[in-house]
Chain A
Amino acid sequence: MQKPILEVNHLKKYFDVRGGVFGKKVGEVKAVDDVSFTVHEGEILGIVGESGCGKSTTGKTILRLIEPTEGEVKFEGENIAALSAEAMRKLRRDMQIIFQDPYASLNPRHTVEKIISEPLLIHGMGKKERKSRVKELLEVVGLSDYHASRYPHQFSGGQRQRIGIARALANNPKLIICDEPVSALDVSVQSQILNLMEGLRDQFNLTYVFIAHDLSVVKHISDRVGVMYLGRLVELTDKEKLYDDPKHPYTKALLSAVPVPDPDVEKERILLEGDVPSPSNPPTGCAFHTRCPVAMDICKTVRPTFEQAEVNHFVACHLYN
C-alpha cells in the first residue's frame, strides 16, 4: 500500500451570505460540504465537476488559501488546519498551486525572473543561487534562459502556463494542486502542457491534485478520479473503474453528456433535466435527487453516506448502501 501524502477528512467550507443595512448574516453557501479523500504519494488524483460544485474551493482550502470552516487536512500526517500562519508558510514550500488563468495569475509588472524567484526569496535563497535556479527551472518547463528578462505579456497562453508551472516547481514541492491548469488553452497547446506535467511528475516524483471540468483531460492524466456535485464528493475510484463502470447516477449522466469526437462511438445519452440547484439552498437529503432519473423516496430526506461499494470504489448513493 502506498503512503498517503494528503488526507482530507470531513472538510467543510461555508461562506456567509450577508445582507441588509447592517450586513447581518442571512444565510450561507455550502461550497464544500463534508468532503473526505486521501491522496497517495506520487499519484494524480483528479477532481471533476461542473461549475459551482466546489472543486476549486476544495483545492484552495487544502492549501489554506481559504480557511476551512470545519474538518482536517493532514499533510504527511500533520493536521495543517491547526497550524499557525508562520508554520503554514514554511509548509507551503512543499505544497504549491497552479492556477487556471495564465493571464491573471502572473504579475504583469514583474519579469519572469522575478516571478519565478519570488518563492525562492521567501524561503531564503541567495541572489546568485536564485539566478541559476531560475535558469534551470525555465529549461525544465521547456523555455529558454533568455526568457527570464521578459514580461508576461510577451508570452502566449501556453508559455505563460509554463511560467506558472516553473514558479510552482521552484521550491521542489511534494504536492501540487492544479486548478484547471489547461482549461484556458487551445487543444494543441493543452496537450503540450499535459505531457509536460506528466513528465515532471515522473522526473520529480510529484503528487498532483488535478482539478478540472473536462472529463477527457482528467481521465487522461489521473490515476484516481473523484466526482463532485454541489459541494459533495459523490464518487471516487480508479479512473478505469469510474469510466467503465460508473455507479452514481450523476457520474453516469456526466459521462454520457461528453461529446466524443468519433462518429462511430454509440452512446446512450442520459439527459439531465434542469440546472444545478443553488448551493445556498441545497436540496434536502441527496443533493442530486431533484435531477436524478432513479430517485427514491429515501433520497429526498436522508443524505447518503460516502461509503465503499466495492474495493476502492466509494460512492454516495442510496442505491448502493
Chain B
Amino acid sequence: MPNEVLKIEDLHTHFFTDQGEIPAVDGVSLTVHKGEVVGVVGESGCGKSVTSLSIMQLIPSPPGKIVGGSIHFKGEDLLSVSKKRIKEIRGNEISMIFQEPMTSLDPLFTIGNQLREAIRIHQKVTKKQANERSIEMLKLVGIPRAEAVMNEYPHQLSGGMRQRVMIAIAMSCDPEILIADEPTTALDVTIQAQILDLMKKLNQEKETAILMITHDLGVVAEICDRVIVMYAGQVVEEGTTREILKDPKHPYTKGLIRSIPKLHEKDQQLYSIPGTVPKPKMGNVGCRFNDRCEYAHDRCFAETPELFSIINNRYSRCFLLDDSEGKVVTDAEANIRS
C-alpha cells in the first residue's frame, strides 16, 4: 500500500549477555499508515521499548543486535542504509519522545539551544529562522511565555512542561512518524490529559503518524486507532482499539483487561493472572503464555502458535483460534464464553 509509513516484518532483536542470548524481540511485525495512531501495549520486559529503539537503530551494540527481519520506512530499508542516511532520518523524518523528560533533555543547555540544534541539524536555515521556528514550536505545544522559556534550563520547568518541550523538539522537523515511548507515564493524570490532548491535536492537524508505546490501556483507548499487544517478545494480538478492548481474543489480553480496576464499573473481585511474565530465552517451544493460561492444553506446550488471522487485520497468537483444529476449540471456546 502506498500510504504505509512504517512497516516492520519479523524483527528479531537479541541481546548477547553473560547469561546467554536473550531474544528480547522475537519476530515482531507491525505496520503504521499515514496519519494513524498505533498503540503497542504490554507489561515490562515484553519487548515494546526494544522494538521502538530498533526502529531508530538506538539499540546499544554490544550487547544488543538486530539479528533478523526488516524495517521499512516509506519503502526504504532502514537496516541496510548507511549510517549517514540513518542520521538524516532520525529526528527529522522519524522522531522519538521518551518516558522521562528530565533525562532526555540536556541539563547544561537552554531549551532554546536544544530546539535550535535539532532544527539546524536537519534543515538549512539561518540562526534567526531557527530561533523563530523554535518559538513557534513552543507556542504550538502550548507553552506560555515561549520567548522567556527559550532562555531557561530544563530544571526550571515542571515535568509536564519538559514533556511539552520534548514534543516540540520531536515535532520541529515535521516528522512523518512520531515514536512515543511511554510519554505520559511519569506525569500526573491531569497533566497526562493535557499531553494526550496535545498529541491528538498534532496528529490531526499535521497528519503525523504516532507509534504509541504504553502499558496503560486507558491511554490506548484515549488516543489509538489500532493496537498491538505484546507478550514476552512477541505480538500476541492485533486489532482496532475497539476490538481489542471490547472483544479480546487472546487469553492474555482478556486477563489483562479483566485485571484493571475500572473507574466506571461496579466493584467486584479483581481478576488476576497467576504467575509472572517469563524471561525470554532461546529455543522456547510452546506458547509463551502456557503456564499462566487457564485454557492451556497439550498442544500449547508442544507447538509454538503462529499469529492466526481472524478477520481483516485482526490477529491472535492462540491455538483456540486455529480453525483447522477440531473439537478442542469448540470446548475451550464454550468455556471462555460461559
Seen from chain A, the residues whose Cβ lies within 8 Å of a Cβ on chain B are 50-51, 156, 158-159, 186-192, 194-195, 213, 215-217, 219-221, 243, 253-265, 269, 271-272, 274-276
Contact status of A257 and B261, CB under 8 A, knowing A186-B44, A187-B256: no
* Chain A contacts for B43, CB-based, 8 A: 186-189
Other-chain residue from B44, B189, B270 in contact with A50 (beta carbon distance below 8 A): B189
Return the chain B residue nearest A51 by Cβ.
B188
Question: Is B272 a contact partner of A191 (Cβ separation < 8 A)?
Answer: yes
Question: Is A259 a contact partner of B192 (Cβ separation < 8 A)?
Answer: yes
Complex formed: what's the CA distance from A20 to B273 in Å?
54
Complex formed: what's the CA distance from A192 to B263 in Å?
18
What are 15 pairs between A and B in contact, CB < 8 Å? Answer: A50-B189, A186-B44, A187-B43, A187-B259, A189-B43, A189-B276, A191-B273, A219-B267, A255-B263, A257-B192, A260-B263, A261-B260, A262-B221, A276-B158, A276-B188
* Chain A contacts for B246, CB-based, 8 A: 262-264
Q: Which of A158, A192, A254 has the most C-beta atoms of chain B within 10 angstroms of its own C-beta?
A: A192
Q: Taking the nearest CB of chain B, how far is it from the CB of A288, in angstroms?
A: 11
Complex formed: what's the CA distance from A258 to B261 in Å?
12
Complex formed: what's the CA distance from A254 to B188 in Å?
10
Question: Is B242 a contact partner of A263 (Cβ separation < 8 A)?
Answer: yes
Complex formed: what's the CA distance from A213 to B190 in Å?
11
* Chain B contacts for A258, CB-based, 8 A: 189, 218, 263
Question: Is A271 a contact partner of B272 (Cβ separation < 8 A)?
Answer: no
Q: Taking the nearest CB of chain B, how far is it from the CB of A3, in angstroms?
A: 24
Q: Does residue B241 face the partner (Cβ distance < 8 Å to A)? A: yes
Q: Does residue B262 face the partner (Cβ distance < 8 Å to A)? A: yes
Q: Taking the nearest CB of chain B, how far is it from the CB of A284, in angstroms?
A: 21
CB contacts between A and B, total, < 8 Å:
121
Return the chain B residue nearest A194 by Cβ.
B270
Other-chain residue from B197, B269, B274 in contact with A271 (beta carbon distance below 8 A): B197
Q: Taking the nearest CB of chain B, how far is it from the CB of A170, in angstroms?
A: 24
Leading 9 A-B pairs by shortest Cβ distance: A259-B218, A220-B261, A191-B259, A261-B217, A50-B188, A257-B193, A191-B272, A186-B43, A188-B273
* Chain A contacts for B259, CB-based, 8 A: 187-188, 190-191
* Chain A contacts for B44, CB-based, 8 A: 186
Q: Taking the nearest CB of chain A, how far is it from the CB of B244, in angstroms?
A: 9
Q: Taking the nearest CB of chain B, how far is it from the CB of A261, in angstroms?
A: 4
Contact status of A275 and B160, CB under 8 A, knowing A259-B219, A261-B217, A262-B221: yes
Q: Does residue B59 face the partner (Cβ distance < 8 Å to A)? A: no
Question: Is A195 a contact partner of B190 (Cβ separation < 8 A)?
Answer: no
Return the chain A residue nearest B258 by Cβ.
A191
Complex formed: what's the CA distance from A274 to B193 in Å?
12
Question: Is B263 a contact partner of A219 (Cβ separation < 8 A)?
Answer: yes
From residue 196 to 235 of chain B, which have CB atoms closer than 8 A to chain A? 196-197, 215-222
Seen from chain B, the residues whose Cβ lies within 8 Å of a Cβ on chain A are 43-44, 144, 158, 160-161, 188-194, 196-197, 215-222, 241-242, 245-246, 255-257, 259-264, 267, 269-274, 276-277
Return the chain B residue nearest A190 by Cβ.
B259
* Chain A contacts for B276, CB-based, 8 A: 156, 158-159, 189
* Chain A contacts for B218, CB-based, 8 A: 258-261
Q: Which of B217, B218, B246, B264 has the most C-beta atoms of chain A within 10 angstroms of its own C-beta?
A: B264
Question: Is B260 a contact partner of A187 (Cβ separation < 8 A)?
Answer: yes
Complex formed: what's the CA distance from A212 to B331 in Å?
42
Other than the given A188-B43, A194-B270, 11 more pairs (CB < 8 A) read A188-B256, A192-B273, A195-B272, A216-B260, A220-B270, A259-B196, A259-B218, A261-B217, A261-B221, A263-B221, A264-B246
Complex formed: what's the CA distance from A259 to B193 in Å?
8
Question: Is A187 a contact partner of B190 (Cβ separation < 8 A)?
Answer: no
Question: Is B222 a contact partner of A259 (Cβ separation < 8 A)?
Answer: yes
Q: Taking the nearest CB of chain B, how far is it from the CB of A277, in angstroms?
A: 10
Return the chain B residue nearest A274 by Cβ.
B144
* Chain B contacts for A254, CB-based, 8 A: 189-190
Other-chain residue from A50, A262, A271, A274 in contact with B264 (beta carbon distance below 8 A): A262
Question: Is B222 a contact partner of A195 (Cβ separation < 8 A)?
Answer: no
Question: Is A253 a contact partner of B255 (Cβ separation < 8 A)?
Answer: no
Complex formed: what's the CA distance from A253 to B160 in Å?
17
Question: Is B190 a contact partner of A216 (Cβ separation < 8 A)?
Answer: no
Contact status of A215 and B263, CB under 8 A, knowing A50-B190, A263-B246: yes
Question: Is B242 a contact partner of A191 (Cβ separation < 8 A)?
Answer: no
Q: Which of A50, A191, A219, A261 has the most C-beta atoms of chain B within 10 angstroms of its own C-beta?
A: A261
Q: Which of B189, B192, B256 has the most C-beta atoms of chain A within 10 angstroms of its own C-beta?
A: B189
Other-chain residue from B190, B263, B271 in contact with A191 (beta carbon distance below 8 A): B271
* Chain B contacts for A262, CB-based, 8 A: 221, 245-246, 262, 264
* Chain B contacts for A190, CB-based, 8 A: 259
Complex formed: what's the CA distance from A191 to B217 in Å?
15
Complex formed: what's the CA distance from A192 to B292 in Å?
13
Contact status of A216 and B270, CB under 8 A, knowing A254-B190, A257-B190: no
Complex formed: what's the CA distance from A319 to B285 in Å?
63
Contact status of A186 and B190, CB under 8 A, knowing A258-B263, A264-B246, A275-B160: no
Q: Taking the nearest CB of chain B, how far is it from the CB of A44, in angstroms?
A: 12
* Chain A contacts for B189, CB-based, 8 A: 50, 213, 215, 254, 257-258
* Chain B contacts for A260, CB-based, 8 A: 218, 221, 262-264
Complex formed: what's the CA distance from A191 to B158 in Å?
31
Complex formed: what's the CA distance from A275 to B195 in Å?
12
* Chain A contacts for B267, CB-based, 8 A: 219-220
Q: Taking the nearest CB of chain A, how far is it from the CB of B163, in angstroms?
A: 12
Question: Is A271 a contact partner of B215 (Cβ separation < 8 A)?
Answer: no
Q: Taking the nearest CB of chain B, how far is it from the CB of A304, in angstroms?
A: 20
